Amino acid sequence: MIKRLLLVTVSLAHHLAVGGARRLIELVSSKRRARTLVVLTYHAVTADDDDRFTSQMRLLKRRARLVFADDAAPAGTRPAVAVTFDDAFQCVFDHALPLLARLEIPATVFVPTAYLGADAGWHSDGSALSGLPRQVVSAAALTELDPSRVRIGSHTVTHPHLAALPPESLTDELAGSRATLEALTGAPVNLLALPYGCFNAGVVEAARLTGYTRVFANMPLTLAARRLPTLHGRVNVSPRDWQLEFYLKTMGSYAWLATAIAAKRILVSALGRRSTC
């Protein structure tokens, strides 16, 4: 609780400082500036989360321009926000996607193909999914999605730490999941979400060579990571976020976390070539 409160407090200070600077620039230049696309990452939305998730989506509808994760951020004064879901849990299809369809909010779902219609096998002991549904959506359900409302991306085959894999296994994970999803949906699959946010430059390049045009981490990017072609940052959200916390995340005010995480890694270890896992 204390750590979460500290994150919100620092993010609020960052939001106010950046917002004040932006308003000053606009006053001086007399120009409206387009904002950067903010990509949100959800995992599970359960029946217990319905009211809170609905409140969050209604807030987005009022305050943001809602786009797909691979859309360019449109020019304007309101932030551009994309809603994404990692792991393709059945509860997301039961509770989140129907609401988004009613509100006409586009969504992107990243699917681990080895577990379609089965339990989330990457958590063998279930500890990381304590209290959450474990069921991944079925292959049949993916074929029934409206592509004008929901886009499908890869979350690899088996949800591994990609930066730890040998080249052949890395290729299998990237190409295998893409081929499976394209066969199911009949549409190109060009988006990849990195399990655990685990990557290095080699993983991003392998994804590009496999045909992915956008690769998503699960955190904001450091300055160094932003130079990797096709790589984009995201911010983790939950239906259980505080209202202010959620608002700050949608405004891009958690971008400072990337610098803080990078600084922590430097202090912890001085490895020559590190993956961001």
Q: Where are the domains of the chain?
A: 34-259
Q: Is the pLDDT of residue 244 over 60?
A: yes
Residue 205 CB-density burial (10 A; 0-12 exposed, 13-18 middle, 19+ buried): middle
**Whole-number Cα distances in Å, 213 to 206, 209, 244:** 11, 9, 33
Q: How confident is the model at residue 11 (pLDDT cuts 50, 70, 90)?
A: very low
d(Cα 208, Cα 248) in Å, to the nearest integer?
31
Q: Tell me the sheet residues that pair with 84.
A: 41, 108
pTM of structure: 0.82
Report the pLDDT value the prediction gives residue 81, as an integer from 0 to 100: 94
Answer yes or no: is pLDDT of 230 > 70: yes
User: What integer is the mean pLDDT of 246-262?
Assistant: 71
Per-residue pLDDT at 22 = 46
CATH number for domain 34-259, candidates 3.40.50.720, 3.30.300.20, 3.20.20.370, 3.60.15.10: 3.20.20.370
Q: What single string gives the DSSP state of each residue in 74-93?
A: PSSSSPEEEEEEES-BHHII
Return the minimum-mean-pLDDT range out of 81-85, 129-133, 197-201.
129-133
Residue-averaged pLDDT of the chain: 82
